[in-house]
C-alpha cells in the first residue's frame, strides 16, 4: 500500500470530512517533527486519471479549510508511511516556515495576455539573404526585449498599486508568445475576493494586455520548499 499525497500540515490534525480519492481512506501520517501528511491509501497498480486531479484539488481545498496546509503536487506518492515521515522530518524546518507563511492566507492568480502579436520590422527586399536574416533576428530580439521590459513594468505597477509585500508575490514574464505575465499573490483568506477584484481592476487599466484572474485557491505556488 502506497500513500498518494495531498497536503502537509502541522500536528495535531484537524477533522477533515469525507474520504480520499475514489472514496478510499484519507490517511494522516504524523512525523516526529510535529508535521503530518494527508494522503489517500493507494495501490501501485491503480492509474491516475484526469478526474483524480480535480478530486485532489477539492481534497486540498477541504484540508486547507480545516487547517493551514501546504498542498502537495498531484501524483506525489510515498512507498510507505515510514518514507513519508522521513521526508517530512528531513525538511521540517523549511516546512514549518512555509506553513507559517501561508497560515490564514489564500492564493489569487492573474494572467496577462498580450492583445496583439509581437511587432517585427519589415526588411527591404533589396537586401541580400544574409542581411535579411540578421535584420530579422535583430528585430525579433528587440521586440522580445521590449516586451519583457513592458511586462516587468506591469508587474511593478501591480505590486505598487496593490500595496503588497514582495515576498507575498510570485511572477514570471513572457513565458510564451501570448503570455505577458503570470502572477500569484498570497492574501488573507477573508480578503481574497476583495483583493481579486482589486487585481482585476488595476489590470483593466493596462491597454495592451487582457487580464484573467482566478482563485482564490489553496496556496499552491507558495507551498514550494527548496
| Cα distance between residue 134 and residue 136, in whole Å | 5
| Residue 224 confidence (pLDDT) | 83
Are 91 and 197 contained in the same domain? Answer: no
Quote the Cα angle for 117-122-126, to 5°.
160
Same domain, 97 and 206: no
Q: For 179-194, how does the pLDDT look when each residue is reduced to its tens digit (9 = 90+)?
A: 999 999 999 999 999 9
Range(s) of the domain holding residue 212: 105-223
- pLDDT tens-digit series, residues 41-83: 999 888 999 999 999 999 999 999 999 999 999 999 999 999 9
Alpha carbon 60 to its chain centroid, in Å, reads 14
Domain boundary among 57, 80, 102: 102
Sheet holding 169-173, edge to edge: 169-173, 179-188, 105-114, 209-217
Q: Which of 68, 102, 136 is the last residue before a domain boundary?
A: 102
Contact 72, 99 (CB under 8 A): no
CB 45 within 8 A of CB 6: no
pLDDT bucket at 143, cuts 50 / 70 / 90: confident
Same domain, 219 and 187: yes
User: Residue 152: which CATH number?
Assistant: 3.30.70
Same domain, 110 and 198: yes
pTM (predicted TM-score): 0.84
Q: What is the pLDDT of residue 67?
A: 94
Q: Report yes or no: 20 and 48 within 8 Å, Cβ to Cβ.
A: no
Q: CA-to-CA distance for 196 and 162, rounded, in angstroms? A: 10
> Taking residues 172-185, what's their average pLDDT?
96
Which cell is 113 given?
A: 495576455
By DSSP bridging, strand 26-30 and strand 69-71 are: unpaired
Please tell me whether residues 94 and 110 are part of one structural domain.
no
Element (H, E) at 154: helix 129-162
Instruction: Looking at the structure, tell me whether residues 137 and 66 fall in a common domain.
Output: no
| Best CA proximity match to 196, nearest among 212, 209, 207 | 212
- Mark whether 116 and 215 lie in a shared domain: yes
Residue 11 pLDDT grade (very low, low, confident, very high; cuts 50, 70, 90): very high
Distances (CA, A) of 183 to 110, 112, 136, 165: 5, 8, 31, 14
Quote the CA–CA distance of 78 and 218 in Å, as a whole number.
Answer: 22
Q: How large is the average pLDDT for residues 182-211? A: 96
Look at residues 85, 102, 119 and tell me which one is the last residue of a structural domain: 102
Q: What are the DSSP calls for 71-83, one per residue?
A: E--TT-EESSHHH
Residue whose cell numbers read 510535529: 34
Amino acid at each position: 500500500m502506497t500513500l498518494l499525497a495531498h497536503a502537509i500540515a502541522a500536528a495535531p490534525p484537524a477533522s477533515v470530512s469525507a474520504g480520499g480519492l475514489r472514496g478510499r481512506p484519507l490517511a494522516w501520517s504524523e512525523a516526529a517533527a510535529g508535521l503530518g501528511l494527508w494522503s489517500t491509501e493507494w495501490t501501485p497498480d491503480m492509474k491516475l486519471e484526469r478526474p483524480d486531479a480535480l478530486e485532489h484539488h477539492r481534497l486540498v481545498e477541504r484540508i486547507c479549510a480545516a487547517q493551514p496546509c501546504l498542498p502537495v503536487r498531484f501524483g506525489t506518492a510515498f512507498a510507505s508511511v515510514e518514507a513519508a515521515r522521513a521526508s517530512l522530518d528531513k525538511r521540517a524546518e523549511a516546512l514549518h516556515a512555509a506553513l507559517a507563511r501561508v497560515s490564514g492566507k489564500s492564493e489569487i492568480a492573474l494572467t496577462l495576455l498580450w492583445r496583439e502579436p509581437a511587432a517585427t520590422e519589415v526588411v527591404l527586399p533589396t537586401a541580400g539573404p544574409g542581411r535579411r536574416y540578421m535584420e530579422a533576428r535583430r528585430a525579433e530580439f528587440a521586440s522580445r526585449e521590449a516586451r519583457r521590459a513592458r511586462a516587468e513594468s506591469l508587474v511593478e505597477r501591480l505590486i505598487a498599486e496593490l500595496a503588497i509585500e514582495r515576498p507575498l508575490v510570485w511572477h514570471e514574464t513572457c513565458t510564451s508568445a501570448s503570455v505577458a505575465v503570470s502572477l500569484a499573490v498570497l492574501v488573507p483568506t477573508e480578503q481574497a475576493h476583495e483583493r481579486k477584484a482589486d487585481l482585476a481592476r488595476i489590470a483593466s487599466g493596462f491597454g495592451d494586455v487582457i487580464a484573467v484572474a482566478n482563485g482564490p485557491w489553496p496556496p499552491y505556488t507558495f507551498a514550494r520548499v527548496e
